[in-house]
Amino acid sequence: MRLTDRSVAALRCPEGKAEIRVADDALPGFMARLKAGGVPLFMFQYRYGGGIRRVTLGRFGEMTTAKARGEAEKLRGLVRAGGDPWGERKRLAAATVTAEREARINAEADSFTVKALIDLYAEKHVASLRPATRRDVLSRLRLHLGPITARPATAIGRREAADVLDKAAEAGETTARRVRDYARAMWSWALRRGSLPEGTANPWEAAPAPGRDVARERTLAAGEIGAVWRAAEDLEPPYGSLVRFLMLTLARREEVTAMAWGEVAPDLSVWIQPGTRTKNGKAHVVHLGEPARGILREMLGAEADKPLPPLPKADRLVFGVPGNKAISSHSWIKRKLDLAIARARLKAAAEAGDPPPEPVPGWVLHDFRRSGVTWLASAGFPPHVADRLLNHVQGTIKGVAAIYQRGEFLEERKAALEAWGTHVLACGEGGEKAANVADLAAHRGRKALRA
In whole angstroms, give the CA distance from residue 110 to residue 102.
12
* Chain segment 114-150, per-residue pLDDT in tens: 999 999 999 999 988 877 788 889 999 999 999 999 9
Give phi and psi for 242, each to the nearest 5: -60, -45
Angle between helices 367-378 and 432-450 (to 10 degrees): 70
Residue 432 has pLDDT above 50, yes or no: no
Q: Are 358 and 341 in contact (CB under 8 A)?
A: no
151: left (phi over 0), alpha (psi -120 to 50) or beta: beta
Q: Are 289 and 417 in contact (CB under 8 A)?
A: yes
Can you give the pLDDT at residue 427? 94
Residue 334 has pLDDT above 60, yes or no: yes
pTM above 0.95, yes or no: no
Q: Which residues contact 83 (CB under 8 A, 6 or more apart)?
A: none
Residue 107 has pLDDT above 70, yes or no: no
In whole angstroms, give the CA distance from residue 232 to residue 339.
11
List, in sequence order, every residue forming a beta bridge with 51; answer none if it has no partner: 48
How large is the average pLDDT for residues 300-318?
A: 90
Coil vs helix vs strand at 57: strand
In whole angstroms, give the CA distance from residue 373 to residue 183.
34
Report how far apart the first and last C-alpha atoms of the chain are (Å, whole number).
120
Q: Which residues contact 161 (CB under 8 A, 6 or more apart)?
A: 180, 183, 203, 204, 207
How large is the average pLDDT for residues 49-76?
A: 92
